[in-house]
Structures are given as C-alpha cells and as structure tokens.
Amino acid sequence: MATDEVQQAAGAGDQRVHKRKRSIQDTPINVNRIQSAMHRVSVLKEELAGIKETEVDVEAMMQHVSALEQILRGAKKPKLSFSSFTKTELEILGVRRGRLVFKQKALHDLATKTTSQAAAEVKALRARIIDIYDLVNMDYEAGSRMILDAVLLALGKTSLPGCAVAILPEMRIATGDGIKVRNPATGYELWLTGNIDYAVIGYKDELDNKDRLIGVDNSRHDALKVAQSHFILIEAKHQNDGEPLASSMPEAVGQAIAVAELTSHTEIRFCLSNGRSWFFGILKNEASGWVYYQSTARHLNREVEGHSETSVKRNNWAGFGMGESWLLAPTAKSELYELLD
C-alpha cells in the first residue's frame, strides 16, 4: 500500500512538473481599458497645462502608458468592443473600402412597382414618421430608435409570400473572449466583442423556424442557422449634428466582419442609420482580403410631411427595396446597384 501511495505521489509530481504554464498570450487583453486610461491621462494633462514641472511628469506618464499599450498588444491577444472599432483597426486588419452605387432608374422603377400591401405600409409609415418628428425630441438616441423601429416593422410586414421577417434587437454575437479576426497578410489578430443593435432576418415560415428566432428559447446559434445568408445587421446611432454619421461606419464594418467569421459567409449586408440618414454596405471576402462597399447616405427628414406619397417612395424609401431584395435574394446580383473600387 505504501509503495502504491509513493507511486501515486510521484505521478502527481510528474503531472505538476509537466503541466503547461499559463502564458501571457492565453488571455485576451481588453484594449478598451488601456484606451480609457490614456484618455484619463490626457484629461489630466489638459487640466494641469501651464505647470511646467507637472507637464513634464504627465508627458512622461503618457509615454509610459503608450509604451505599455504597444507591449501588451504585441504580447497578448488584443480584445476590442465594436464601439471602439475605428479606422485604425480597419487599416491594421487590411480591410479596404469600395463604393456601392445605386442605379437611380432602377430605384425609380422599384418605387412605382410596389405591391398594394407595400404601398399601404409606406403610407402608414409616412404618417408614423410625421407623428414622431412632431412629438419626440430627436436629440436623444431613443428618438432615433423610434424612427428605426417604425421602419423595420414596416419592412417586416411587406415580406413576400413564403418569406417571413424576424427582428432581433441587441443580438449578442461575440461572447466570452470574442470572435477572432485576422489579417492574412500580416498575421495580426484581434478579438471583437459586443452586440448588434438590430439583426433583421428573412426566413422560410415553416417547421419551427419562427419559435427558434423569436420564441422564449431562441439562441444565437439557431438564429444564424435559420437565417442562413438572409441576414442584415443594422447599427443604430442618434442624430448628432456635431459628429457625422459616416464616422461610425467602422463600427458597423467590424460587426459585419465578426458575423462573417462566425458564420463562414463570404458576404454580409449591413446598414448604418440614425433614423434620418441611411448608409447601406456590403462586406465581401475577396481574394485580396476583406472589402466593404459603402453607399452614399439616403436621407429621410422632416420635409417628408410636405411631399407626395409617390415622391416619398421614390426619394426616401429606396432602402425598402434594398432591404427586401437583400432578405429575399441575398446572394443574387441586384439590378439596384453596382460595386466599384
């Protein structure tokens, strides 16, 4: 018995000796916290401006914090939330930008060929938008969300027979350590975390698909399986006159890349909107790497009240056709637009 105990103890000792030590690279580092620390030091530097001795000390501190960030970025897995994803990350990941150009005649034809149900929804939506602008303070994100909610609900009610629409707000796609994205040319890796403001999914209304999307037992895994490639993500922002909406495009692109990595799809459709302005985008995984194609802004504004319904459909609801087209035939080349460098 004593011999057995000694052997077991020796075996345990061997296990301890050979157990893999935890590496600094095993845990993703939250880059957001480093950026927050640098911001606080910057604020301190501004507050103490003019005191020469202090300026020197703070400047040295900034250099140390910046150096620490570079060391940790190189030694550990950088983890970043979607809201902190910027042009810098796009450049580091080698993501290129192209143009999504609408064909005006095709959009005009689309507006004149809407079904009676779609026409009724556009009319009702126009009235809802007018009410929101008359009653709601649009300086807050909740006001913009009311516009977005109205538009998405109308889109969901205009789907064609055989295709239903589900809207999943605050869909969490990057949990835990996040989703790894990689620059194939340099090998640089980044882990992304966070939620999608709205996931709009087109699906076949059969089997138990609806319950898997909007039932009490819904899950991210089931939603992506049911959606297949009939998926649009929407990043929502509030109407801020001090900051252009387009400045938030990297955040939407980062979400699209994460969804593409999660689903192994080579093309993801997405939209950036504050309720008033809408940017449409397509992310494609091409031979040269990730490329996102961005449209110019489509605007929906207060002047909608003074326009005829036909004018409203032609000028402001082109996005309706885009959304419906993408949900029903997401991989087909659309006649509504072309992709250019």
Give me the number of domains the chain comprises.
Answer: 2
Tell me whether residue 63 is in a domain.
Answer: yes
**Residue 225 falls within a domain, yes or no?**
yes
pTM as predicted: 0.75
> Is residue 36 one of the residues assigned to a domain?
no
Nearest to 322 by CA among 158, 124, 135: 158
Residues 83 and 67 in one domain: no
User: Same structural domain for residues 281 and 334?
Assistant: yes
- 10 in any annotated domain: no
Domain limit, last residue, from 49, 74, 99: 74
* pLDDT band, very low/low/confident/very high, at 288 (cuts 50, 70, 90): confident
pLDDT tens, residue by residue, 327-337: 555 555 567 78
DSSP states of 111-165: HHT--HHHHHHHHHHHHHHHHHHHHS-TTSHHHHHHHHHHHHHHHHTTPPTT-EE
Flag whether 83 is in a domain.
yes
- For residues 214 and 69, state if they share a domain: no
Determine phi and psi for 313, rounding to 5 degrees.
Answer: -65, -40
Do residues 24 and 75 lie in contact, with contact meaning Cβ atoms separated by under 8 Å?
yes
**pLDDT tens profile 232-270:** 888 988 877 678 999 999 999 999 999 999 988 899 999
Residue ending a domain, among 27, 49, 74, is 74
Rounded percentage of the chain residues whose pLDDT exceeds 70: 66
Backbone torsions φ then ψ of 203, nearest 5 degrees: -150, 160
59 plus 178 within the same structural domain: no
Last residue of a domain, one of 21, 55, 74: 74
Which amino acid, residue 183? N
Query: 58 and 86 share a domain?
Result: no
Q: Structural domain of residue 64, as residue ranges?
A: 41-74
